[in-house]
Structures are given as structure tokens and as C-alpha cells.
A and B are shown apart, each in its own frame.
Chain A
Amino acid sequence: AENEQPWGTPCTQLLVFVATPGCDGFPSLDSKESYKLSVSEGSLLLSADAVWGALRGLETFSQLVGRDENGTYYINKTEIVDFPRFPHRGLLLDTSRHYLPLRAILETLDVMAYNKFNVFHWHIVDDPSFPYESLTFPELSKQGAFNAMTHVYTASDVQTVIEYARLRGIRVIAEFDTPGHTLSWGPGAPGLLTPCYLGKYPSGTYGPINPILNSTYQFVSSLFQEVSAVFPDFFLHLGGDEVDFTCWKSNPKIRAFMKEMGFGKDYKKLESFYIQRLLDIISSLGKGYIVWQEVFDNGVKVRPDTIIHVWKENSTPYMEEMANVTKAGYRALLSAPWYLNRISYGQDWMAAYQVEPLKFEGVPEQKDRVIGGEACMWGEYVDVTNLAPRLW
């Protein structure tokens, strides 16, 4: 016939079949993201164990649909069986160095879904600013945000992000990094940070969280009680990186405490003292935790189900660190070669692509402990004007 289409039967439906219910739940580390896609004459079938797999399959399906020169949509006969190699595939955004308006975060979640990322690591506060509006401690953002009216995330904003992410099968893991990286906490929580000393007198500047005061632990406990309730994911990221000991060393009360505790001159022991109490608090709140590698490197006693986040490229070559962490029995996340904020000229995507996360000496059980990795977009030089083209 003259008008014979070269196409097969027009497809009218993609049938989506999900084995296990769970539409209303939150994705977790154990979520099943596998799916099967079967496209043939007259039948389009997407089947998955869980809704999360269906989301992944829908993304793939949308990528298979093509358009010819005449504008006709078509799809080739296809069979796909798919599942992720690593269960934790994350992206870190830093909303403290520069505030990112809600729409920038939501847009990022959309693009994460296009790329099958499933963890949004929200490095929400740090030294420069505290944009998180806390119910328990409203002064934190009032005093610590760049602008308490405009550069904050309200409780509603946070819920919006969590739900928007959930609908895309993305977990939101909040990071409240302590005891370092906390300068912005100081103005809203007097007495929290360690006063630094110049000789006998306070210099007027502050350092990390003060680990020797009971009030510190009361504060931390209350704050994390709120954070645990606000963020539904089982895991919280507790930070623990780059603690500068200078201020602690300068403070006479801290020096006295060190003596009392028999820590000698080893401030790593003081750091561990703090972290351990923090971890106990978090555990008692029923949450698991992820920490930056220093916590492991400094010998802090952590629960066996702690996840260690490897970020330093060279202090130990990161593959060696991955081996060490997994050998010690902990699960590991890799970020070291994926600091996307460190821009360079040309097709630097290739260097990121060529990283092989399991390229280290170790037995299979160790390799199994590598649960994935995260691309990090630290915010020193990033705001809404350049986030998207820098990240994608």
C-alpha cells in the first residue's frame, strides 16, 4: 500500500509492574533498584521488585525513545536487565559556602534522577553560614545565616527537598559537620565554640566545638534529636573532618582537661573523646552514621556499621585508604577522585570516568564493603549562577 508505515504496531502503553509495595516509604541503602524492560511488537513492559526500580526503568525507557526526521516518536525492540553496581551513588552540595536557592536544589535533584543518582548528601552548614532553620535553636540561623530572611532553609523548604527527592528515589543524607567547620554555629549558640587564647587572655576568636563542657553535649543532643526527626533517612553524616587543634591548644581550660584525662599532648584523643560521645548520642537516637575519613584515621572507636567517607587524595593515596578502611571491617564511600569543584580545562570528565573504585588490594569481603561513592561540589566558588554547568 502507498501509505505503508515502516513502523511496527503503534505502542500505546508502557505497563509498569512492581512486585513489592512501598510507594509511600523512603528509599534506603537496601532499596532494590533493579528492573527489567521488555520492548517488543505490541508489548512494552517494565517490571521491578520495588518502585525504586520502576523509577530507574522509566528513566531508561525515556532515553530509548527516539524521534525521526519527520518527528515521529519510535522505539527499538529492546530487552534490558538492569541494576546498579553500587547501592550508594551520591552527590554532595554545599549550601554553606554559598547559599543555594531551593529551585537550584530541586533542579539538581531532577538531573540526579536523569543520571540514576540516589543519594543527595546535603552539606547544609559549615564555617561561613548556617542556613538551616532549627526549631529547637532558631538563633542558629538568625545569627549564623548570611541573611536570616533570605538565605535560609525553612522547615518547609527542607520537607520540600526530602519529598521531591523521595519521588525520584533519592535519599537525603544531611551533614551537620562537627567539631570543626562550625564557626557559623557560634553566634547563635554562645558558649558552644572553644574560645581561643592569646597567652592568658581570650583573643576574641573561636575554634572548634568545645569538647570539655557538658553544655556542649546537651546542645548537640537536642540539635541532633531534631535533625534525626526532620531527616527520615537512617543515616546522618556527622562530618568530623579537618579539626584544627590550634585553638584547643591555646585554651588553658582545655589543656587542664587534657591533663585530667591523661591525654598528654595528643589532641587526637580529645577529638576522639568528642566524636565518641557524639556517636553515642546519634546511636541512641536510632540513627546510623557516616563520617569523613579522619574519624577512622585518628582511631576513634566507632560502631561496626559506620560508613567511612574517603575524601583525601594524597595524604594516604586514596586507594590505600579504601583498602585500610575496608580491611578494618568498615563500609566505605569514595569521593577523593571526584571533587568536581576542582575544575580544570578540557574533558576532565574522562578522569572521573576512569576511576575504578575497587582497584585496591583486598579480599572479596573487603570489596563488598565499598558501597559506592559521591561526587562533591564544594561551594567556595559555586553559587546558583554557575552550579548547573559546573556540575553537569
Chain B
Amino acid sequence: GCCAMGRAVGLAGLLVGLFLVPAVLVSTSLRRGAPWADPEPELAEWELASGAVPEDSLWPLPQWLRTSPRQLQLAPGRFQLVHGAGSSAGPACGLLQDAFRRYYEYMFGQSRQWKRGRRPLGARAEPQLLQLQVVIESRDPGCYSYPHLASSEAYRLTVTEPVAILKADEVWGALRGLETFSQLVHEDDYGSFLVNESEIDDFPRFAHRGILLDTSRHYLPLKSILTNLDAMAFNKFNVLHWHIVDDQSFPYQSIYFPELSDKGAYSYNHIYTPTDVQLVIEYARLRGIRVIPEFDTPGHTQSWGKGQKDLLTPCYNGEQPTGSFGPVNPILNTTYDFMTKFFKEISSVFPDAYIHLGGDEVNFDCWKSNPEVKEFMKKQGFGIDYAKLESYYIQKILDIVSSYNKGYMVWQEVFDNKAQLKPDTVVQVWMDNNYANELSIVTGAGFTAILAAPWYLDYISYGQDWKKYYSVEPLNFPGSEKQKKLLIGGEACLWGEFVDATNLTPRLWPRASAVGERLWSSRNVTNLQDAYTRLTNHRCRML
């Protein structure tokens, strides 16, 4: 026998099924409408976003949505995704061309009807939808640029015969709109592709919607990362926070310092070459996803020491070095020479405006044990407050990175330990204990924040834990309107201690989808029952 919950699900599921089936049959017949009389839909028939969505599988739920029971059919052999008249983007826009092909395949991929069939047009009663025209309205569509925090992801989708129109300021909105359109297209029992007449006005609630992947605790082959970027696009995530190196391994192949991965990666097969990195960045770009690398220092750097002598602090037992090492050594000039050169490379390799500098969980024991460090503390007048030494180090790194015109993100400790941060620093709140309070303090001090604390998806547990992630309300913290505006989004984190290519995808998805909707959709989209229906459909579609 299995646990009571299982039985409850089974029993309830079947009971719900028994009641739901008749309900669906009734509503379907209403939706199909009478083929012999095609009245203009009454206003009363139009449903608002928070009500029932015809096919119950939009995820995340758009901000504003009107659907009609009136359906249009699409013939895979004839339907086209095209650039509309007046669009500032055209066939030269590689990003959109790529997206057109990709979304065509998502919608019709299973069908074999790509060639024009012999069946005459309009053999079904429903009118044809021949095209989705994409119109980019901004003078600079952004085809060749990288997405950034202020990119516009808004779009308006009008689905009506004979041509549907997708309007967006920039290509990023078009990508979001294409995803939504592909979610509206569905197959009926006979394999016909249909879409309901609809009007959608959509934009993200939060501008930073990220997934953190950890490729140090376990190496993730390129394929895993790319598959994940696809899944992110299905859920309108727009930031890949690439926690690329850490204590355990250093897979990033540096151009200036090849020894770092030579000595620090698990093996030569467990590295990301410059080509790999560019591939990830471009694959992400084509999906409107920013890649923010994290080179976490001064803690979490054991693997750096293998290929960079004298970078890490030697720990002492009394007078003698123990042979083991601690965080980056903050007292040596060579450290900062190294970091200057290293971050020069990172700044040029990764095009995003931001670099994540880490700064979390710095263990002071090793510094405390080292006589030279102790001496330095005295000289600087830090007393025995090692947080000051940490801040001293961080500040120098922040200055280095600033000099390359990059903004930076840091874990909350950097803020908590009172380092001097530039005003546009983004502080990532990750400690679960009373994170609302931390958000208050961070935004109260005028800094931008992103929330990760309640979304550590590596902490698996039995059952439908997606509900827990879905129920988080990021703005539930004490603060003024101005403060609330400083919370620019959040990230679902999948730390890699127990994750590799064998289990990444089923562990991350569809649980992360819950976070995706929380960060995109409106604050009042909280109904778990409705979310369950849409999420189960969405999950099957993602497969």
C-alpha cells in the first residue's frame, strides 16, 4: 500500500475526472459554436484573464487576455510566421528568423502535414488563420543586440482571421509573444490545428527572472545547459545566472590563465572552452535570455588555487602552514593584479552589463590563523573585525570590475557586512531566515534587490512542492512604494551538490515554472487550482 496522500490523489483525481468530463463536454459544444450561424461574439462571451482560458494551458498567465469561443484553423502547410508591414525588423533579423522556424516546429512538429495537402481550403467550417505577422515598433528592434535589464518584453497579440498580429516594442517582446501564441494553438481530437480568437496584452511584472545553474559542484555538459535554456524560454525566464566555478571545480577555460581549468577542472573533459561559452551566450540571446556569469570570491575558491599559486590564503596551525588553503588572500598585491587581468577577460567574454561577484559565506578561520593576515589587520586598524577585511577585499574587486564598465551583483553578505557598494549594485537575497526583513533593509538602503531565498529548488521534498514556490509573494515585505520598486525580480536556484546531467531536467522542471509565473504574471494570479490545471498541461507540452 502507499501513503494516504497517494490514495487521496488517486481517489480525488478520479472523482474530479468523473465530474469534469461532463463539464468539459458541455463547454466544448458551446465553444465550437454553430457552424451554420457565425455571429459576432457578444461581449458577454468574452472572458477576462483571471477567468477560464479556452485551452487551459497558458503559462505564465498573461497580464490581460480576452478569448472568444470562435476558433480559427491553421494548416501547417500554409500557415506562416512573417514580418508584418511597418516592422522595423525584417528577414535580415536573424533572431526572429530563427524564432519563426523554432516556433513553427514547436506548434506543428508532430504533424506530417508540412506540405500543402490536397484537401481544399476551408474544408472545415472554421475560418483559416493564414499568418502571424510580427511587427516590431521600436526604431531599433534589437536584432543584433543583447537583452538587458531595461529591455522591453511587452507584446500585444491579436488573433483573428485571416491574419494574426503580434506587436512588440523590441524583438524580446516578440519572442515572448511567439511563445504565448504557440501555447494558444492546439489540436482537436481529429488532429486539426486550431486557435481561439483572442486578444492579449502582456508584459512581465518583474524585469529580472532568472535560473541559477551550478556547473562547479557537478559539470553540466553543454547539451544540458542548452536544453535548460529552451525550457527557460518556454517559461519566459530571461536570465541565466551561471554559477560557473566554485570550490569543487573550475571548468571555465580562461584565455589569460589556462592553468585555472587545466589544474582546477575535474578533467579535461569537464571544461567549457571559449567556444562553448559563446555558444551558450548566443543560444541564450536568441531566446531573449541574458547570461550573467558568477565568479564567486573570496570564498568558494578552492579550485582556483590549484592553477593559480599564491592566490589563496595559506592556513596556519600556530607557526606552521597546514598545507591547506582558505579564501582568496586579500593582503597581497598579486591578488589584485590577478583579479584585474582576470576580470578584464570576463568583462570582454560576457557581454551582459552585469557580472555576479559572489561574496557569500566567507569563512574567516583561515585568515585568522595566518600571521601575515593578522599583521595586516593590525596595520589597517581593522582590529579583530574580519568583516572589515572582507569588505576591504570586495571593495577593491568592485572597483576593478567597475573600471571595466560593468555593473555587479553580489550575494547579501556583501551588503550585510557593510562594504561600500555602487548605487546600481544588485543585491541577491538568499538566506531563508526572515528574508522579507532583509529585503526591507536592502531596499531601504536604496539598493536594487533580487529574491532567491524561498526558491532554492535544490532542496527537494516529497509531493507538490511547486505550490510552496508559487505562493511566495516577493513584495510581501515592509517598505514604501519606492522600496518595492527596487525589487527587480528573483531567481530559482538549482545548486549542484546533488545534481548532474542525469537528473537536472526533471528536478528543475516544472517546479521552476511556478517561479516563472510568480515573476511574470500579475500579483493577483494566485489560484492554485487554476494554476494546477495550466501547469499540468504546460508540463506535458514542455516534454
Contact = CB atoms under 8 A, between A and B. Distances in A.
The 5 A-B residue pairs whose C-beta atoms are closest, nearest first, are A241-B1, A389-B503, A386-B506, A127-B10, A378-B2
6 contacts: A183-B11, A312-B1, A343-B461, A381-B462, A386-B506, A390-B506
Interface SS, A side = loop
A344 B460 contact: yes
A128 interface: yes
Among the interface residues B7, B498, B507, which one has the most CB atoms of the partner chain A within 10 A? B7
A292 interface: yes
Contacts of B460: 343-345
Nearest to A312: B1
Contact of A345 (B2, B14, B458, B543): B458
A94 B2 contact: yes
B502 interface: yes
A242 B14 contact: no
Given A311-B1, A339-B3, A380-B9, A344 B503 contact: no
B86 interface: no
A127 B461 contact: no
B18 interface: yes
A204 interface: yes
Contacts of B502: 388-389
Contacts of B461: 343-345
Given A378-B2, A385-B543, A386-B506, A242 B10 contact: no
A51 to B, nearest CB: 32
A18 to B, nearest CB: 36
A139 interface: no
Interface of A: 94, 97, 126-128, 177, 180-181, 183-184, 204-205, 239, 241-242, 244, 292, 294, 311-312, 339, 341-347, 376, 378, 380-381, 385-386, 388-390
B37 interface: no
Contact of A127 (B5, B7, B462, B543): B7
B26 interface: no
Contacts of B3: 339, 342, 378
Contacts of B9: 97, 380
A216 B542 CA distance: 43
Given A311-B1, A378-B2, A345 B7 contact: no
B7 A292 contact: no
Contact of B5 (A94, A312, A345, A380): A380
A186 to B, nearest CB: 9
Contacts of A346: 498
Nearest to B6: A380
B13 interface: yes
B10 A97 contact: yes
A294 B506 CA distance: 34
Most-contacted residue by chain A among B15, B498, B505, B506 (CB, 10 A): B506
Interface string B350-389: 0000000000000000000000000000000000000000
A345 B503 CA distance: 14
B257 interface: no
Contacts of A345: 458-461, 498
A381 to B, nearest CB: 7
Contacts of B6: 97, 378, 380
A388 B10 CA distance: 23
Interface in B435-481: 458-464
Contact of A205 (B2, B10, B15, B462): B15
Interface string B16-29: 00100000000000
B219 to A, nearest CB: 16
Given A127-B7, A242-B2, 17 more contacts: A94-B2, A126-B10, A180-B7, A183-B10, A184-B14, A242-B1, A242-B4, A244-B7, A339-B2, A345-B498, A346-B498, A378-B3, A380-B10, A381-B462, A385-B506, A386-B506, A389-B502
B134 to A, nearest CB: 33
